[in-house]
Amino acid sequence: MELAQLPFSQACENNQRPILDVLKPKLTDSLQLLEVGSGTGQHATFFAHQLPHLTWQASDQHCNINHINCRINHFKRSNLPSAIALDISQTWPTQNYDAVFTANTLHIVNRQLVEAFFAGVAKITLTNANLFIYGPFNYQKQYTSDSNANFDIWLKQRDPQSGIRDIEWIVELANAQQFELVEDVSMPANNRLVHFIKR
């Protein structure tokens, strides 16, 4: 399939460079990164190109793997293997990773799957692993912008179980799995890039 026919996200095009600026200095010692919920695969192809010292393992639910791999095959990079099927609610890989990245997933899945995400990440990582979570969050139960408040209404109309998460709950879940919050970076379009390290 032609690249132009594959699913495409303008948001990915817009946010990949600002995300890279944060990730790059933090990933100098990481070699094996797992991306959860790769979506269109645009982040995977961009970051694998920009971070050639590490292997970027894309993953998503089974139904998305074909189109992600079509995109990956167009780029043919040795540090960008075929995407693997990984449903947060199912069995996680047995391989260990020293970094995990996920963008715009925790407000899509339900609360049980947010908990399952942290349990799964804990299983596949060793001490000092990096965990990066990109997306919108609420602080002290407040939206950080009107656009996020409207987005949350839209999300809940689609799926009442979804919604923008409280950062305090996310940090609590991370801490329970030995991940310590090291930085919470403000990003364009009222998003955050939250960085945890496993202690």
Ligand X SMILES: C[S@@+](CC[C@H](N)C(=O)[O-])C[C@H]1O[C@@H](n2cnc3c(N)ncnc32)[C@H](O)[C@@H]1O
Residues that bind ligand X (CB under 6 A): 9, 12, 37-39, 43, 60-61, 64, 86-89, 103-105, 108-109, 113
Find the shortest distance in angstroms from Cβ 181 to ligand X. 21
Q: Of 34 and 88, which has the nearer Cβ to ligand X?
A: 88
Find the shortest distance in angstroms from Cβ 11 to ligand X. 6
Q: How far is 178 from 99, CA to CA, in rounded Å? A: 14
Find the shortest distance in angstroms from Cβ 174 to ligand X. 18
Q: Of 28 and 91, which has the nearer Cβ to ligand X?
A: 91
Q: Which residue is nearest to ligand X (CB)?
A: 39
Q: Of 45 and 64, which has the nearer Cβ to ligand X?
A: 64
Find the shortest distance in angstroms from Cβ 19 to ligand X. 9
Q: Of 9 and 175, which has the nearer Cβ to ligand X?
A: 9
Find the shortest distance in angstroms from Cβ 159 to ligand X. 10
Q: Of 88 and 170, which has the nearer Cβ to ligand X?
A: 88
